[in-house]
Structures are given as C-alpha cells and as structure tokens.
C-alpha cells in the first residue's frame, strides 16, 4: 500500500509539472492553431494543425539568418522602417540601429507585411521552403496578416524605441562588471555577466543576481560609435512564451507586471 501511495504521489507530481510546463502560450493569442485561444475564422485560426510551436520554431531546417533560435519564418529586410532618431525626436540621447537582433523576429509578424503563417518548414512532409512562404491556411479574405493594435506597421516612431542604446549609451561590460556611466542618468543601472563566452546585460527586477525571464533582458549590439553594449529590443519587455505577468497585469506577454507601471519603472527612474 505504501509503495502504491508513493507511485501515485509521484505520478500526480509529474502531472502538475507537465501541466505547468505546457501552460505557456496555450491560452494566449500566440497559439495560432485551429483550437487556439481565439479559434474561428478570424486571424488567429492559422491552420488545421495542432502544432503550437511551428508558427515560430522548427527543430529542423531553421532560418539561420535569424537571431531567434530555430526560427521558422522569413526575416524582414532591415530597410524600410522608420525608427526614432535625432531627426524626429528631441529626447534621443543614444544611437539607434536599423531593425535587427531579436526584434526582427518579432516584426516578421508584427509589422503587418508578412502572413502569420509564413513558414520555412511547414507541418508534415514536403513542406520545406528555405526562403519562407505564406501557406494560405483556412483564411478569410485578407486575414492572413496581423491586424489591429498588434500590427505595428513599419513606422515605429509611435512605439517604444528598439535597437536603441540602453540609458543613452556609455556602458560596456566584462565578466560581471559593468563599465562606464549612463549618458542619461534617469535609468536604473543594468547587470552584466559573461555566459557561454558572450557578454549579456539585463535589468535585475527580481534581486536574484542571475538573469531570469522576469528581468528586463537587454541585447548586446555594436552601435555606430563602435561601442558594444546593451540594446533595448522588443523582447526586452516582452516574453512571447508567457501569459500575463502577475494577477493584476492586463497585457499579454509582459516580463514585468503593468500594475503600478512596474514594467516602466523597472528601467526608468521617474
């Protein structure tokens, strides 16, 4: 009896772990399957497939031009976007690069120019197209591209800057040491560490001292002044694999809750 009880307890524990691990994007708008979070004829019904991950990732024949791992979509050209610059903003005090890094992966859907079912390696056999192609699954007319406020377009000047030096620039890093001083002092200092030979930066929101999904993730890029340091990208604030952050948050995919503007105050000292 005792042995049966232990086995039952172990099975229950495994079920809880599995359920937690699979919760992720299943109930969010990033579940683009026919039975996803918003099933029906609208833009979130992408195909008859039940493969949730395939709309962004593939285990084989991935797009190696993308920064995002095992990316399964064509990446948009970095040209044609209008971003923040000293020409259109008086508050910019750091370099702004062309669209790239992980933000290019996000914009492969969210700039509204490419179908959400543009895939390199479609479900099933014989679905490989190395350049990526729109698959035309079960669409209503024109519904294959993202719509509404999630369609950022190619004019990004009404969105939070991306490809911009964190805190106006002035920072580099080596090992666990951040060197330099923020050009704009109205920002919280980031943390840095060398991981697998790469220098990474983040704003520590948990106080753990180790980078986690609930921190503001900064991405290392080389700017036009030849300074290599932390950059703010789409995935700095957004985690595409989670639901809302915290019980009082009202926005999907945030790394930090929007309650009390904590997502803003994680970086900005106001």
- What is the tens place of the pLDDT at every residue in 36-71? 665 444 444 546 678 889 989 999 999 999 999 999
Whole-number pLDDT of residue 87 = 83
* DSSP state letter for 11: H
Helix (H, G, I), strand (E, B) or coil at 230: strand
Whole-number pLDDT of residue 239 = 94
Q: Which of 112-126, 130-144, 148-162 has the lowest mean pLDDT?
A: 130-144
* DSSP state letter for 138: S
**Mean local confidence (pLDDT), 4-16:** 39
For residues 77 and 73, what is the distance between their CA atoms, to the nearest angstrom?
Answer: 13
Q: Which of 65-74, 139-148, 164-173 has the lowest mean pLDDT?
A: 139-148
The CA dihedral of 182, 97, 215, 155, to the nearest 10 degrees, is 120
Whole-number pLDDT of residue 244 = 76
Whole-number pLDDT of residue 50 = 81
**In this model, does residue 193 exceed pLDDT 60?**
yes
Helix segments in 97-233, DSSP class H: 101-110
**Mean local confidence (pLDDT), 153-157:** 96
**Mean local confidence (pLDDT), 236-243:** 92
Whole-structure pTM value: 0.85
**In this model, does residue 158 exceed pLDDT 60?**
yes
């Amino acid at each position: 009896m005792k042995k049966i009880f232990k086995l039952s307890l172990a099975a229950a524990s495994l079920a809880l772990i599995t359920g937690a691990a699979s919760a992720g994007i299943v109930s969010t708008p990033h579940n683009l399957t026919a039975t996803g979070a918003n099933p029906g004829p609208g833009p979130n019904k992408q195909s008859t497939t039940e493969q949730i991950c395939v709309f962004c990732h593939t285990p084989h024949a991935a797009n190696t031009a993308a920064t995002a791992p095992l990316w399964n979509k064509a990446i948009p050209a970095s040209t044609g976007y209008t971003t923040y610059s000293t020409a259109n903003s008086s508050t910019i005090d750091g370099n702004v690069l062309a669209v790239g890094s992980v933000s290019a992966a996000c914009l492969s859907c969210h700039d509204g120019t490419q179908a959400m079912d543009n895939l390199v390696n479609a479900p099933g056999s014989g679905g490989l197209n190395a350049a990526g192609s729109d698959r035309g699954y079960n669409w209503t007319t024109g519904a294959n591209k993202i719509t509404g406020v999630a369609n950022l377009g190619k004019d990004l000047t009404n969105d939070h800057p991306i490809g911009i030096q964190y805190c106006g620039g002035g920072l580099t890093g080596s090992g666990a040491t951040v060197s330099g001083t923020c050009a704009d002092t109205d920002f919280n200092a980031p943390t840095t560490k060398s991981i697998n030979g790469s220098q990474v930066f983040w704003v520590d929101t948990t106080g753990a001292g180790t980078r986690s999904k609930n921190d503001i993730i900064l991405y290392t890029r080389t700017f036009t002044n030849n300074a290599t340091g932390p950059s703010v990208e789409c995935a700095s604030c957004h985690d595409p694999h989670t639901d809302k952050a915290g019980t009082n948050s009202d926005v999907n995919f945030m790394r930090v809750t929007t309650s009390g503007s904590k997502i803003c105050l994680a970086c900005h000292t106001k």
